[in-house]
Amino acid sequence: MDELAGPLCRRLEGEPTAYDLAIATCIILYHFADVVAHVRGGKAHEVADEIAAKVPDFHTVRAIANAGKHVELTRHPKSELIGLRAEHMVRGKGAAFSDGSYFADNVTWSDMPDAVVVETPDGRLHDVPHLCARVFKDLCADAALFQV
């Protein structure tokens, strides 16, 4: 987390329109489950499910990471995210609010700076730099996961 995820999250915060950086950050955050599984001697998909139960945004990071690697998401524990495609990540207007959220109809303020955004198949718009920052913070805050 300190050597890869933290620096990537900080770079993405500074370069919120960097598409490649957004996908790379999601991939590293998602594959933190592999590290935890390795240390525990468990299965990565079970650890990923455990993390997602504690950090719901992890589902979306997982979906972006896999869509970014495989072009289209064909399997995922949350069926509403199946069908996400790498091309759904675009440069668009950032979130309306400092917590990374948009208005209910995916609208933001007209003067918001651009960021990498993704509309997931469930119709929700996500500001990816905010999403990654939240997941990173939540993972770091959970001693049972972070201090493996």
- pLDDT single digits (tens) 28-50: 999 989 988 998 888 988 989 99
- pLDDT, residue 100, reads 83
Q: Is 83 left (phi over 0), alpha (psi -120 to 50) or beta?
A: left
Greater pLDDT, 147 or 25: 25
- 3-23 residue pLDDT tens: 888 999 999 999 999 989 999
Identify whether the C-beta of residue 61 lies closer than 8 Å to the C-beta of residue 73. no
pTM of the model: 0.86
Measured CA to CA in angstroms, residue 27 lies from 5, 109, 133 at distances of 9, 29, 13
- Among 14, 21, 16, smallest CA distance to 4 is for 21
CA–CA distance, 109 with 113 (Å, rounded to integer): 9
Compute the mean pLDDT over every residue in the chain, rounded to the nearest whole number.
86
Q: What is residue 129's predicted lDDT score, i.e. its pLDDT? A: 95
pLDDT at 11: 95
Write down the pLDDT at residue 61. 93
- Strand residues in the chain grouped as ranges (E): 89-93, 114-119, 125-127
